[in-house]
Structures are given as structure tokens and as C-alpha cells.
Amino acid sequence: MTSHSSQSPIFSQTYDLLRWLLPLAAAMPREHRTGLGRRLPEAAFLLQRQLIAAAKQSHNPTPWLREADITLAELRLLLRLARDLHMLSFKQYEEGARRSSELGRLLGGWLRRGEELSPTSGS
């Protein structure tokens, strides 16, 4: 594993996001549970997987971190859509936005450090 151990704040924040998100998705109206209600946790699980894969890369985590950044952008879009369709309250949306912003901050910092350490950076 790289210097980013599983004890890093990004891993606990991702776990907390999943713990918060799963009951919300399960409580969505039946007609949306198989669509948006399924996609939200799937995106969060994929984000978690990509972060774990990046942490296990001893040489260059940057490709996994870039994928995680794309997944986080999708997760933010799904949260906004759930709010616009009234499947999340404004307070729930605010909480999701806060959590995803914190993850974005942590991911951005890791991505910057990964690119600085990458042997291909600067090309």
C-alpha cells in the first residue's frame, strides 16, 4: 500500500457516506428504488473501490484517483437529481453536498500529491 493507508480520512469519509446513503436510497419511492435509488449507492461503492485500488498502487495511483474524481462528480449529480425530484429533503441534500465536498477536497489533495510523485508528471 502507498502512504495512503486505509486509516486515511478519505476512507472513513467514504464509509460514512455509504452508511448515511444506504438507508436514504432504501427509503426512496418504489418507482425510483431500482433506478436512482440503486445508482446512488452503486456510485458510492464504486468510489470506495477506486480509492482502495489507488491506495494499493505502490507506483502510480493517479489513474485510479482520476476515475474516483469522475465517480464523485457522478455521485454529486445523482444527489442533485434526487433533490430535484423531491426524493431528498433540502436538509438531506445539504448533508450529501457537504459530505461529497469534503471527499472532493481530500481526493483533490491526494490527486495533487499523486501527480507530483508520478514519474510521468510534467510530460
Pick left, alpha or beta for residue 122 (phi over 0 → left; psi -120 to 50 → alpha; otherwise beta).
Answer: left
Comparing CA positions, the residue from 123, 119, 111 lying closest to residue 10 is 111
Instruction: Give the residue numbers spanning the domain of 16.
Output: 9-116
Contact partners, residue 105, CB within 8 Å, separation at least 6: none
* Mean pLDDT score across all residues of the chain: 89
Q: Coil, strand or helix: which one is 4?
A: coil
Quote the CA–CA distance of 37 and 9 in Å, as a whole number.
26
Is a pLDDT exceeding 60 seen at residue 1?
no
Domain count within the chain: 1
> Which pLDDT band holds residue 33 (cuts at 50, 70, 90)?
confident
The answer to whether residue 4 sits within a structural domain is: no
31 assigned to some structural domain: yes
- pLDDT-wise least confident of 81-85, 107-111, 118-122: 118-122
- Let me know if residue 122 belongs to a domain: no
How confident is the model at residue 32, as a pLDDT?
86
